[in-house]
Every structure is written in C-alpha cells, then in structure tokens.
A = this chain, B = another copy of it.
Amino acid sequence: MADATARMLKEKPNSPLYDDIGFAKIDNHRKARRGFPEVVFGKGKTTDQVVKISEKIVKHDGILLITHADKKAFLRLKRSCPGIKFDEKARIISYRKDRPVLKKGLVLIITAGTADLPVAMEAKATLEIMGNRAEILCDVGVAGIHRLLGKQDVLDSAEVVIVIAGMEGALASVVSGLVSKAVIAVPTSVGYGASFEGIAPLLTMMNSCSPGVAVVNIDNGFGAAYFASLINR
C-alpha cells in the first residue's frame, strides 16, 4: 500500500487520499492501489448522492462505473459528461475518457438461458471498461447440452470463463468439467419457488463436484467481471 501511495502521489502530487464530501469519502487512492477506481453501488443512494460521487470520480480518474443504476442518475450525469453510457437492462452506467489498452485474453461469458442476459450484460460492460475482450455465449443450459458441447472450440479460446445460471445452476459444474481455465460462477435469481431467489443455484455452484469453480453473489455480473479482469492475462 505504501508503494501504491507513493506511486499515486508521484502522478498526482496534490491529490488527497480521499475526497470527503460529507455523505461519502471518495477513495482517490483506489486506482493506484487496486488498478481501477471506486465503483459506485447505485442502490440505496439518492440520485443527488450518486451524481455528486460520480462527478468526483470522473474528474479524478476519467473512468466511471455505476452498478444498480437507474435512468434518473444517467440523465443528470449526461449533462456534465456527454460521453456517458447507460444499459437499462444491465442497470450499468459507464464512462471512460481514454480507450483502455486491450488485454490479450478473451473472457467468455456463458449463460444458461435467455433470462440470464441482463446479468451477462452487466458483466460485459464491466469487462470492457476494464480493458478486456468479452464475448457472450447465450442459452446453452444443460437441458440441451449439445448446444454447449458443440462450442468446445469457443470454450478453449477463452482465458477466463464466467458462467451465469439461475434455476438449478448446473451449468457451472458442467462447463468446469470441459475446460482447463478458471470458471467464475454467478447464480441468478431467474427461477421461481424453491430456487429461493437464487439460493438454489448459489448452493449448486458452491458444491461443484468439478474443481476450478469459485462463486460470487447472486446476480453479481459486475463482481464476476471484476474478478475475471484481475486474472485475465
């Protein structure tokens, strides 16, 4: 941390470690320390709070990612930051002043069904703003496993794999059994009844009989992507 701090202070000698704006302390040091600035969690904040925090981050780092975002914040932010983008389904607001240097590896995002797409879109937007090439392989759930088996070449081309599945979430184990790469599993709240808003696939993925799987929170496409970006070469 000491090193990172030193590095940051060299780049931005007058930058305080964080901006204190009362209801938030924006972590200016995050990018130096972790490689990416603070990501804004939109839920539970007022539009005003989201906007003020975001403007600080844009100004300091030139990069912005808001998850669980809504349209109101987007419309407000668009005024001061015209290049900003909003994916309503994925609930993602994103902005990047410069174009990131693209990493070599491909991150493959696989979904079990069509209804898992918004989570996949959240992952894709996160990956791209963090400089990763990302592709989505959609609707290859185990009910028709030949759809997945026929894509072995796509699986093999990936450096990291994200598997997104609701209902019983079996896809993560199956994919993991077919590849030699790390599989990041995202349980989704797609389903009903005894899927308990994503608990069923979460448990499935935690107990994968096939090693090489690690799990993030329910519907957390962002978290899977962030993790994938850290391990993408």
Q: Which residues of A contact B (CB under 8 A)?
A: 1-4, 17-18, 22-25, 27, 29-30, 33-35, 38-39, 41, 43-45, 49, 53, 68, 112-117, 138-147, 149-150, 152-153, 156, 160, 166-170, 173-174, 176-182, 184, 187, 189-220, 222-224, 226-227, 230-231, 233
Contacts and interface: CB of A to CB of B under 8 A. Distances in A.
Contacts of A152: 1-3
A203 B206 contact: no
Contacts of A43: 115, 190, 192
B207 A191 contact: yes
A223 B203 contact: no
Given A170-B174, A203-B194, A203-B195, A209 B113 contact: yes
Contacts of A214: 184, 214-216, 223-224, 227
9 contacts: A18-B146, A22-B138, A43-B115, A45-B114, A68-B192, A169-B207, A170-B209, A193-B202, A194-B217
Nearest to A137: B25
Contacts of A49: 114
CB-based closest 3 A-B pairs? A44-B115, A193-B218, A170-B170
